[in-house]
Structure 1
Amino acid sequence: MIPAARFPDAADDDEELSKEEIAAIKESEEDIRAGRVRSLSEIMKDLGDDEVIRIFPHR
């Protein structure tokens, strides 16, 4: 996680989340809890491009 202190000049987003955005966030959280996630390495391999994997190796 990137500490908030690294973004001292970042604008605050004071706009409320829509019902659709909140629902999408909840759905994403459920997917993560259920293990329905994929690594960047897996996705890049599926796309036939492992260049990012070589630049940023999986730890």
Structure 2
Amino acid sequence: MKLRAATRGSPLAMWQTNHIAALLEQHGYQVEPIIVETGGDKDQVSPLHKIGGREFL
């Protein structure tokens, strides 16, 4: 069975995704990581209270 795992592209998020993918692959699953970017990933300068919005995080 093939699974897709949405993850942020940060080193920590990628490590976590790859770790879980390796565990799942031991049980016969194929895991394809899909990197997603949030507004917070794109704008790391502006204060959160000035940006707002549900899609930001």
Task: Compare CA radii of gyration and give the structure with the larger one.
Answer: 1
Q: Which structure features the higher share of strand residues?
A: 2
TM norm structure 1:
0.31
* Relative contact order higher in (CA < 8 Å, ≥ 6 apart): 2
